[in-house]
């Protein structure tokens, strides 16, 4: 049985991790942001904590495993809503935001089971990708001669860098 400080820590870190990813999406004018991803992190950690509370200390039971599987399946619907748009001739947009939704859910799960090294590492790597990924992608396309459309699938004018 977890004590209150541990419950608050797990739920708080999951919420903050989701909010941090959402802030990046907000700052880039994307359709999903701080509040949505904060709630994704909080809700997934809450459901996992419920499953973990009834399990043996330090073990994920079959029931907890089914909870996690259900969460990840359900998050797919939220991600699909971010991707699919009728405007602009059904162009695919929002894949990075959908991936961030999935990541916020995974971070919530990791917080729910208290795997802090995984949370910290994943959050650090996510921000590296979100911060330098676009520049790196453009540079690699220039260096390797790949085709990089002027209307980048995820990047709007606010994310393009010289």
158 within domain boundaries: no
156 within domain boundaries: no
69 within domain boundaries: yes
Q: How many domains would you assign to the chain?
A: 1
pLDDT grade for 9, boundaries at 50, 70 and 90: very high
pTM for the whole structure: 0.63
Q: Which domain holds residue 30?
A: 4-144
What is the tens place of the pLDDT at every residue in 94-125?
777 888 888 888 898 889 888 898 899 889 98
Question: What per-residue confidence (pLDDT) applies to 45?
Answer: 85
More confident residue, 61 or 25: 25
Question: What per-residue confidence (pLDDT) applies to 130?
Answer: 85
Spatial distance between the Cα atoms of 53 and 37, rounded to a whole number of angstroms:
24
157 within domain boundaries: no
pLDDT grade for 153, boundaries at 50, 70 and 90: very low
Helices (H), the chain: 4-27, 34-53, 62-83, 87-90, 95-112, 116-144
């Amino acid at each position: 049985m977890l004590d209150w400080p541990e419950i608050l820590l797990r739920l708080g870190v999951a919420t903050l991790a989701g909010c941090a990813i959402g802030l990046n999406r907000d700052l880039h004018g994307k359709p999903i942001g701080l509040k949505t991803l904060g709630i994704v992190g909080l809700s997934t950690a809450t459901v996992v904590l419920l499953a973990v509370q009834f399990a043996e200390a330090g073990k994920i039971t079959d029931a907890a495993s089914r909870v996690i599987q259900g969460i990840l399946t359900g998050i797919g619907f939220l991600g699909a809503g971010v991707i699919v748009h009728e405007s602009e001739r059904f162009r695919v947009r929002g894949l990075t935001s959908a991936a961030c939704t999935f990541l916020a859910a995974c971070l919530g799960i990791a917080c729910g089971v208290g795997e802090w090294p995984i949370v910290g590492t994943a959050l650090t790597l996510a921000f590296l990708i979100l911060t330098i990924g676009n520049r790196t992608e453009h540079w690699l396309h220039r260096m390797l001669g790949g085709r990089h459309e002027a209307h980048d699938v995820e990047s709007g004018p606010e994310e393009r860098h010289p």
